[in-house]
Amino acid sequence: MDAWPSLSYAAWKDTYATLLRWTQIVGKIRLVQTPWVNHSWHVVYYVTARGLSTSPIRHGERVFQIDFDFIDHQLVIQTGEGERRTLRLEPRTVADFYQALMALLAELDLRVAINTTPNEQVEAILDKYTVGKVAFTLNGYHSIVPDLTSEEEATILGFLKQAREEAVDYKNMNEISAIFEIYKTKSEQYLNSNGRNWKQLYKSYVDAAKAKKAATQTAPK
Encode pLDDT of 92-114 as tens digits. Answer: 888 899 999 999 999 999 999 98
Separation of alpha carbons 194 and 188, rounded Å: 10
Do 64 and 145 share a domain, yes or no? no
Cα distances (Å, whole numbers) of residue 4 to 1, 30, 68, 160: 9, 29, 19, 37
3 belongs to a structural domain: no
User: What pairs with residue 77 in β-bridges?
Assistant: 66, 85
Do 139 and 51 share a domain, yes or no? no
Q: Show the DSSP H helices in 34-73 as ranges.
A: none
Q: Is 31:43 a contact under the CB 8 Å cutoff?
A: yes
pLDDT digits (tens, 9 = 90+) for 149-181: 999 999 999 998 888 888 776 667 788 888 889
5 belongs to a structural domain: no
112 belongs to a structural domain: no
Separation of alpha carbons 110 and 29, rounded Å: 10
4 belongs to a structural domain: no
Q: How does residue 64 score in pLDDT terms, banded at 50, 70 and 90?
A: very high
What residues make up the domain containing 178?
Answer: 119-218
Amino acid at 65: Q
Do 125 and 214 share a domain, yes or no? yes
Number of domains in the chain: 2
